Amino acid sequence: MSQLDGKIALITGAASGIGLAAAQLFAGEGAQVAMFDRNADLVNETAREIGSSALAISGDVTSEADVANAVAGCVERFGRLDIGFNNAGIAGAAAIHEQELGHFQHVVDVCLTGVFLCLKHQSQQLIAQGQGGSLINTASINATQATKGLSAYCSAKAGVAMLTKVAALELGEHGIRVNAIGPGHTRTPMTSRAREVDGFDEAMIGATPLGRLGEPEDIAQMALYLAGDASPWVSGQLLYVDGGITVNELPPGFNPLESRLRQPRDD
C-alpha cells in the first residue's frame, strides 16, 4: 500500500523545484494533488505530465482571494483536503542600508504572509471536515542562520518557523498537525544564481558533512514523511534537511551581496 493512498494534497510553488518534486512524489504515493503556482503555463505543463491525479491552479499566494480559490478548487475537484504543503517562496540579496522597502515587503509577503494565508484557509477546510490533517511549511536553514544580504529572507523564514509553532498550538485540538521543513542549500531555480558564483558549490559542499548539495527530492521525502501516517505525533517542529550544514559554520567566503544574487528567484 502506498503511503498517501486516498489523500488529497495542495502544494504551493508546485511548478518547479521542491514543490514539483513533492507533487510528483505524492502522486506516486497515491495522493491526488492540487498544484498551485503563479506560473500558469509551467504549472499546467507539469500537472499534465503527472496525469489525472494532478490539478493545476494558477494564482499568487500573496492574494487571499487566490489562496481561498485554490483551496475551494482543490475541494471541488477532489472532494476534500488532507495535506497542505506551503512551499512557495522567493529570495534576493541586498544590504540593509541599501534595501528597498518594496523588495523587503515583497519577500516577506511571499515567504511569510503567503504561508499565513495558506494556513488560514487550509485549516478552515480541515476544521470543517472534522478529520484532522497535516500542514507543512517550507522554512529554511536561514530561519536560524543569519546570512549577510538576506535580511528579508532570513526574517521571513524565521517568521515561518514561529508561525508554524503557533499554528500547531492552535490547531492541535482539531487533530491538525503543523510542521516546517528547513532545507539546506538545494538545487532549485531559486538557488541557481548563487550557484553561478565561482566556488559557491564547492564551498557549500565543503561545509556540508554529507558532502553534497541537496536535491528537491531530498526535501520532498521529508514532506512525504510529515504528510503521511508515519508521523502521527509530530507537530510544531522545524525539521532540517540540510546534509548536516547547520552543525557546521557557513563558508566565510559566502556573501549573497555579490551582484548576481540580488534579484529575486522562485523556490
20: amino acid identity, one letter: L
Q: How far apart are the two ends of the chain, measured CA to CA in Å?
A: 31
Q: Write down the H helix ranges in the chain.
A: 17-28, 40-50, 64-78, 101-108, 114-129, 151-171, 192-195, 200-207, 216-227
| Residue 261 and residue 193 in contact, taking contact as beta carbons nearer than 8 Å | yes
Known catalytic residues? 140, 153, 157
- Cell for 60? 499568487
| Residue 243 and residue 207 in contact, taking contact as beta carbons nearer than 8 Å | no
Question: In whole angstroms, what is the distance from residue 7 CA to residue 252 CA?
Answer: 44
CA dihedral sign, ordered 199, 201, 202, 206:
positive
Question: In whole angstroms, what is the distance from residue 66 CA to residue 135 CA?
Answer: 18
| CA-based nearest residue to 221, from 6, 3, 71, 73 | 3
Reduced to 3 states (helix: H, G, I; strand: E, B; else coil), residue 8 is: strand
Kindly state the DSSP code that residue 249 receives in the 8-state scheme: P
For the chain, the maximum distance between any two Cα atoms, rounded to a whole number of angstroms, is 55
144: amino acid identity, one letter: T
